[in-house]
Amino acid sequence: MAIENRNLLAGTRLAANYKKQRYVCTLEAGEGEEGVAFVLENGKRFKSPSAAASSIMGGKAVNGWRFWSLEGETPVQAAEPTEPKGKAKKGTRSRKLISKVPNHAGDAEGARRYWCTACMTSFLAEGEGAPEVCPEGHRTDDAELTAPAGEAVAAEAGLAE
């Protein structure tokens, strides 16, 4: 749960889960007139919660006030999740297996370049319409490759509706 009260005192413990690992950050009195320092379990000191969180995430920019929670607080969940109108829920859109991409310099005249998300390679195809199959044999009508994320796994486990 995001930290709303940003006036934290020395001794406050913050916690976060990242990549299935739990991290703890303790606030300590800063040196001089710094205020507080955010100290990770490994002893590294930071001037902000964002810098401490960024260190955990390998240098990625992150809003530390949203990354950390007060230790012992459990995230509050809404009674019903709300979805913006007009957008598909995450994982419900089918994936496009073969899509057109810009041609490269030196590609043959009249040929079009496509990308296959199954084999993660581009290839050239002749003609106007999009190809139904990539050179590796991945078909655009293969339900396992084009189904929404998790749907194929649920079907295999017998959990599909």
Given a contact cutoff of 8 angstroms between Cβ atoms, the answer to whether 54 and 60 are in contact is: yes
What's the distance, CA 17 to chain centroid? 14
Residue with tokens 């390679």: 121
Q: Give the pLDDT mean for 17-21.
A: 90
Which two three-digit tokens encode residue 92?
Answer: 């419900």
Q: Which residues does 97 contact at the CB level (< 8 Å), separation at least 6? A: 116, 117, 118, 134, 138, 139, 140, 142, 145, 146
pLDDT at 101 over 50: yes
Q: Give the pLDDT mean for 42-65.
A: 92
Question: Where exactly are the structural domains of the chain?
Answer: 13-70, 98-156
21-45 pLDDT, tens digit per residue, is 999 999 998 777 677 899 999 999 9
pTM here is 0.45
SS3 content of the chain, % helix, strand, coil (to 5): 15, 25, 60
DSSP 3-state of 21 = strand
- How many Cβ atoms sit within 10 Å of the Cβ of residue 64? 21
109-148 pLDDT, tens digit per residue, is 888 888 888 888 888 888 778 888 888 888 888 777 666 6
Least confident of 2-11, 119-128, 146-155: 146-155
pLDDT, position 110: 84
> For residue 107, what pLDDT band results from cuts at 50, 70 and 90?
confident
Which two three-digit tokens encode residue 152?
Answer: 């194929």
Which two three-digit tokens encode residue 13?
Answer: 């413990």
> For residue 81, what pLDDT band results from cuts at 50, 70 and 90?
very low
